[in-house]
Structure 1
Amino acid sequence: MRLGWYSQLTPTEKRTYWACFGGFTLDSLDSTIYALMMPVLMSVLALSKSDAGLLGSVSLIGSAIGGWGAGLLADRFGRIRVMQVTVLWVAVFTALAGLCGSFWAFLPVRFLQGIGYGGEAVVGAVLISEVVNPALRGRVAASIQSGYAVGYAISLAVMPVVFSFLPEDIAWRAFFAIGLLPALLIWFIRRLVPESEAFTRASARPRTMNIRVIFAPEHRRITLIGTVLASGIFGAAYIIITWLPTYMRTVLQLPVASTSGYLAVNILGSLLGPFLYGIISDRITRRRAFMLFLLCQALVVSVYMFAPVNLAVVLVLGLLVGAFQGGLASGLPLAFSELYPTRIRANGAGFCTSFGRGLGSVMPAAVGFAAAHASLPAAMGTLAVTAYAIAFLAACWLPNATGVNMSEEGSA
């Protein structure tokens, strides 16, 4: 994958890029620990599939609240300051999960961890949208989302090491303690990454947290379409992220070592997909790129879950699922940031992204309940494809603001 755009970034753009990439990577490490540990927790703590699904969903609900809340705070106090708080928040509550011993103990900790994850993702995307050259913005912003794959890969690589040295009933607690690592990023952000000039200029005027402004007549259509689009994309993504390890263990009957290998291929796709989406979206607009990737992903997931395929084909499908989903998720925060003026940019992008996460968060729990009456592949496939269809319809109505100048007058 050609990365020629990186050499065109200024020193400030590069530092901002690495701060956002690092934050997203380490937050991904923390969030994917839960998915990887779900089969273990179901065994050690005797959690049911419904319990596991609820733990997946409650974090996403927290992410919805945290993303919008962090967006409002970032419009009031600045992007950099709020980013530091969210990174530390995720680290602390992920580590605290290692002290939990029951479903009811996990529930509030999982919710609070989600608040920080949703906040960091939104604020980082808004910061990039305001700092990076518009001609390169799609590729840069999308590549940051590939940090999700890097974080997932780190957690996947560390898991067998931890479990090889410690017994299972202790290893899962030690694995959660690794979640403190993101706190180290705060020093880098504080010392080397400046606040965006767009925010600094806008902050010269009085700043207030007006929650309702994104529902004013001139912004209401964008807010509603963006929220539906994000709901469909995230809802389907959460089905795959939350249930794929369990699907491989319980349906494909893969041992832990083989599951890690198959998931690694899926992660590779998630790493490559954002780069591909960024290039395409800068050339054919964000809306058309969304539509293309949604059609491809719906087709791949349908084959993955409903067709009789051998393990070799599963490898290829896993790569494609990761690539298309990674690309779709990478495009959302930037697309929303381009549609709002500076004074409400984080508010609007935060609401669409976060409430999309919140509405999509019911999907892992829905799969858990549906799997009690149907097979797990049928539940996963049916609900995921339905979510992609909803997102496609929303993408058809999404306004085009690709490459807009990030000024007060430059919004769609």
Structure 2
Amino acid sequence: MLKWYTELTKGEKRTYWACFSGWGLDAMDTQMYALAIPTLLAVWGMTRGQAGILGTTVLIMASLGGWIAGILADRYGRVRVLQITILWFSAFTLLSAFTNSFWQLMITRGLQGLGFGGEWAVGAVLISETIRPQVRGRAVGSLQAGWAVGYGIAVLLSTLLFSTLEPSLAWRVLFAIGLLPTLLVLWIRRHIKEAPVFEQTRRANAADRPSIWAVFESPTRVTTFKAILLTFGIYGGNYVMITWLPAYLKLALHLSIANVGGYLAINILGSFSGAFLNGWMADRFGRRRTFIVIACLQAIAVATYTLASITLPVTLVLGFVLGTLQSGTAAGTGAYLAELFPTRIRASAQGLCGNAGRAIGAIMPTMVGLFSAKLGLGAAMGICACVSYLLVVTAALLLPETRGRDLAEVVQTSGAESVGEERELGNVR
């Protein structure tokens, strides 16, 4: 399944690891908040509704950050803007450690979200434009495993810190460690080059400066809105689980800190595996079919996990399945969004569509926080997640298939089809 990696060039491998590491460290900084929720509820007396609002704020700001970073990347280069976004989200994660109120943390987390959304958008475009079409789905999809790695590091750090320090200090130290990703920037500056397709397009159209509203111009805007619906469903469902699963395990299932870490480790291992599963399926069976199958399976798994009466051992095993499918839906967005839009607006489209979906999907964690007061935490999580995955299926049915598309040949997009060459590589393995 990993034979494709051995066939990459040295430059492709370096770009792959730069984007993998950036996404993983982004995940580490972002998931620190989810792991600190139970402590903040106790130390600051925050309500679950306020905790949900904090989670929503960072995702809304991520949509703005992704769009801004994408516009800048289309004008000034992917690699340069990637470095800026990593520095940005690291700095504001550190500043979160020094907050003393709900409002202060909302400001620092919101600003951190700008870099969080920007890093994903620019990194996804850079790797999509660097990797050749035959293995793009597997290469870009596997980057989602970086999220699992980063999340796993955050869980290990939180488990260690909350087991050895007072909770009121542990969460601050956890956020302070979020400065570490800045070290990655030094390596990127020395080893990573711009994608050839971007350089060629920039040289050929040196005077072309697309409007910031270009993604909403005809005939692109129809595809833009459909892509946003797709990512809304994906991230709405996923962020329900990412934001609330640690709290669910502790508050609803009454697990200890050590046991929560163990259960999350199984979930994260599944998430790591799901990234590779999606990439293989997307290159083998097509992008749309993969989204539909994985979203349907995830809805069933989430409903069983949160709404059914199951034993703790079953919860542990199902946590692996949840992680696999959760990562599987998100892993496909990077390559798919890149294949829907032309190079001149690809980064801005990727930043907007990917992160607008995050922003709208951010409603779901807040809804869980509010609904849990009447329905219970598990029921609220299950209902909100399942509705989200239904939207994934709907959007996938409306969008075109793009497997094997040469990004240099994507000229423009319209409602049901893309103008440009679309090659179906049914024999790709």
Letter in 2 for 1:173: R
1:273-309 deviation per Cα after TM superposition (whole angstroms, max 9, x unaligned): 0100000000111110000101100010111111110
**In structure 2, how many angstroms separate the alpha carbons of the residues matched to 1:406 and 1:224?**
20
Aligned equivalent of 2:266: 265
Letter in 1 for 2:151: Y
1:186-214 deviation per Cα after TM superposition (whole angstroms, max 9, x unaligned): 01111000011111111122242412222
Secondary structure at 1:146 match in 2: helix
**Is the contact made by 2:371 and 2:380 (CA closer than 8 Å) also made in structure 1?**
yes
Secondary structure at 1:135 match in 2: helix
Aligned equivalent of 1:168: 167
1:142 aligns with 2:141: yes
**In structure 2, how many angstroms separate the alpha carbons of the residues matched to 1:410 and 1:273?**
32
Letter in 2 for 1:177: A
**In structure 2, how many angstroms separate the alpha carbons of the residues matched to 1:227 and 1:203?**
26
| TM-fit CA distance, 1:316 | 1.5
Letter in 1 for 2:215: I
Letter in 1 for 2:248: Y
1:370 aligns with 2:371: yes
Aligned equivalent of 1:291: 292
Aligned equivalent of 2:11: 12
1:312 aligns with 2:313: yes
Aligned equivalent of 2:231: 230
| TM-fit CA distance, 1:256 | 0.5
Aligned equivalent of 2:110: 111
Aligned equivalent of 1:133: 132
| TM-fit CA distance, 1:165 | 3.5
1:259-284 deviation per Cα after TM superposition (whole angstroms, max 9, x unaligned): 10001010001100010000000011
| TM-fit CA distance, 1:106 | 0.5
Aligned equivalent of 2:427: none
Aligned equivalent of 1:333: 334
**In structure 2, how many angstroms separate the alpha carbons of the residues matched to 1:287 and 1:156?**
33
Aligned equivalent of 1:198: 197
| TM-fit CA distance, 1:224 | 1.0
**In structure 2, how many angstroms separate the alpha carbons of the residues matched to 1:199 and 1:177?**
36
**In structure 2, how many angstroms separate the alpha carbons of the residues matched to 1:117 and 1:11?**
27
Q: Matched residue pairs, number?
A: 411
1:176-215 map, 5 Å: 176-204=175-203, 205=205, 206-215=207-216
**In structure 1, how many angstroms separate the alpha carbons of the residues matched to 2:298 and 2:15?**
31
**In structure 2, how many angstroms separate the alpha carbons of the residues matched to 1:46 and 1:338?**
46
**In structure 1, how many angstroms separate the alpha carbons of the residues matched to 2:210 and 2:27?**
29
**Is the contact made by 2:340 and 2:410 (CA closer than 8 Å) also made in structure 1?**
no
**In structure 2, how many angstroms separate the alpha carbons of the residues matched to 1:83 and 1:207?**
22
**Is the contact made by 2:69 and 2:351 (CA closer than 8 Å) also made in structure 1?**
yes
**In structure 1, how many angstroms separate the alpha carbons of the residues matched to 2:126 and 2:202?**
14
1:315-363 deviation per Cα after TM superposition (whole angstroms, max 9, x unaligned): 1111111111101111112101101111011111111101101100111
**In structure 2, how many angstroms separate the alpha carbons of the residues matched to 1:390 and 1:347?**
23
1:31-81 deviation per Cα after TM superposition (whole angstroms, max 9, x unaligned): 010000110111111111011000100000011111111111110110000
| TM-fit CA distance, 1:374 | 1.5
**In structure 1, how many angstroms separate the alpha carbons of the residues matched to 2:114 and 2:273?**
27
Letter in 2 for 1:294: A
Letter in 2 for 1:355: A
CA RMSD of aligned residues (A): 1.1
Letter in 1 for 2:134: A
Aligned equivalent of 2:53: 54
**In structure 2, how many angstroms separate the alpha carbons of the residues matched to 1:312 and 1:161?**
24
1:381-396 map, 5 Å: 381-396=382-397
1:39-78 map, 5 Å: 39-78=38-77
**Is the contact made by 1:60 and 1:357 (CA closer than 8 Å) also made in structure 2?**
yes
